[in-house]
A and B are shown apart, each in its own frame.
Chain A
Amino acid sequence: MILRLLNRACVLSGSVRLKSTLSTFFDEMGKSGIILKSATTGIFENLALEDWIHDHVDLQNRSMLLSWRNSPAVVIGRHQNPWQECNLPLMRRLGIPLARRRSGGGTVFHDFGNINMTFFISKKKYDRHRNLKVITSALKALRPDLEVAATDRFDILLNGHYKISGTAAKLGRTSAYHHCTLLCSVDRSVLSSVLKSNTSEVIKSNATPSVPSPVRNLLDVDPTLDSDTIMNAVASQYSNEFGFDGPVITVDPSHEALMPGIHKMAQDLQMWEWIYGRTPKFSVCSSLVVDDVTVKLDMDIKNGAVEQCAMEIPEDWLPSEMVNEFTSALNGSKYCPNEAAVLVAAFTRTVSVTADVAEKIHRLCAGVVSVM
């Protein structure tokens, strides 16, 4: 097989007439297949780009491949619980953002060593195995003795054991997209520490769970398999499989004129109500130790907000009226450490308490916040 390397990248912004959008540009191109590469490394901009293409580009007689990479981020599936899936306090300390995508599936960690690929097509021709075959064939064309294969769960395994790719998908009105990751040179120590929740044992939820798997980078088995080499190989194989050719087009998702509405889509994906508020209803049941005293905490969280909060605290440590005031302060608030801390601080200012009680409330708050 002769690999045609698609070096002829074409940067889109310069070549589009005024009043043309990306969608009309594709229609005018007249090609049945298009390969795109994102110019940005922001997770929200890239997720918005996927959604924009899905909503606006006519995919009935056309298929598209988009490849993209992000600066470090954790991405959860549409119906997942972030408190169950990842270590939120650690992510905050490391400055790693959390995103919720619109497709289903499990939680993944992205950084520059991970390639994301999105296959856009009509609902009728939606075929994930065909898409994954593009990737495994491309890898085998680069390194014929590489043992990579897709599973029934649409993972790609290396040597029959290590996961190098996970898949998720979304079906819309008439079109669909299937996207997957590909681990080339991801920071595995960060990956394993952020994808390990610090509070999953205290959470009871029916959110879709992730299936943890041992992972490996392609670079670990072959140091010459870098992201660019792999992206070019996949693009070439995609063209072979879907029977067309053309340059890889670089798209900049910050171009609002080219993609009207994309900026708002990226903003919507960053809203607390979407990222945390869309978490399916769950309950938290935890035993905290504060000042050698055991505090039993029970909370119901709906739409990311505390629907109900109850605490069992020894009466001699903190009087029950104080406990009731504390739990009332939290009711209806966002299940969020900053918000809880602010509310409790405000509450201690409004009630007259001794310094000793104020200190206890402060430490109790720290305990409660530790599960957020």
Chain B
Amino acid sequence: MAMCTILRCASVSLTSSLPRLSNRNALTPARLLARTCYKRALSTTTRFCAALKFTDKHEWVRVDSGVATVGISNFAQEALGDVVYCGLPEVGTKLSQSDEFGALESVKAASELYSPLTGEVTDVNDALADNPGLVNKSCYKDGWLMKMTVSIPEELDGLMDEAAYERYIKSIED
């Protein structure tokens, strides 16, 4: 499967950023340094990325061939308690990032679900209708909630990878 990468690289030409030295008072050494440093932004957007990404609302996303599978993290399913009902969207629903797309009802409460990405719902996990407990038993695999298209791949860059998510959980637990 071809990996499609986009490299964005911004470099500032050194000559153009050199300040005019005619005005002796204009620049302190610190400012001089700041202006001569150039920034190179490196961004990698992968369309075929099988690693898990996480939102701060404890949803996970896995993108495969342009289709994103969405579920809730282990932290979330533990916090929710036993899920008794999954309220999921209709196939074809168009969602923007952070839109509410459904709710999970557990012994704890009805908890809203928020879309991690912008896209259109292509599939929902019908197995959850008769077996909502799959969300607790297998939150990363059989307990997936919905699949959607990825309209804005750059949104994935803003999500946390597994290591960052682990750090995030530790910080909120403290």
Contact = CB atoms under 8 A, between A and B. Distances in A.
Interface in A174-198: 176, 178
A294 to B, nearest CB: 30
Given A173-B114, A206-B85, A78 B108 contact: no
Interface string B122-154: 000000011000000000000000000000000
A298 B140 CA distance: 37
Nearest to B103: A78
B85 A208 contact: yes
A105 B109 CA distance: 8
Interface in B72-94: 84-85, 87, 90
Interface string A132-163: 00000000000000000000000000000000
A216 interface: no
Contact of B84 (A173, A176, A208, A281): A208
A171 B72 CA distance: 15
B112 A171 contact: yes
Contacts of B161: none
Contacts of B129: 206, 280-281
B17 interface: no
Contact of A79 (B57, B105, B114): B105
Measured as residues with beta carbon below 8 angstroms from the partner, the interface class of chain A is 20 to 34
Contacts of B114: 173
Contact of B110 (A126, A169, A280): A169
A358 interface: no
Q: Interface residues of A: mostly helix, strand, loop or mixed?
A: loop
A277 B116 CA distance: 26
Contacts of B108: 169, 171
Nearest to B106: A104
A173 B100 CA distance: 10
A105 B105 CA distance: 8
A170 interface: yes
Interface string A296-328: 000000010000000000000000000000000
Given A78-B103, A79-B105, A207 B85 contact: yes
A273 B20 CA distance: 68
B111 interface: yes
A102 interface: yes
Q: Interface residues of B: mostly helix, strand, loop or mixed?
A: strand
B133 to A, nearest CB: 12
A104 B104 CA distance: 9
B105 A104 contact: yes
A126 B81 CA distance: 14
A172 interface: yes
A183 B30 CA distance: 71
Nearest to A152: B107
A78 B110 contact: yes
A78 B84 CA distance: 12
Contacts of A104: 85, 103, 105-106, 109-110
A103 interface: yes
Contacts of B103: 78-79, 104
A79 B112 contact: no
Contacts of B109: 103-104, 126, 168-171, 176, 178
B105 A78 contact: yes
Interface of B: 57, 84-85, 87, 90, 103, 105-106, 108-112, 114, 129-130
Interface of A: 77-79, 102-105, 126, 168-173, 176, 178, 206-208, 280-281, 303
Given A79-B105, A171-B110, A206-B129, 8 more contacts: A79-B85, A79-B110, A105-B110, A176-B109, A178-B109, A208-B105, A280-B129, A303-B90
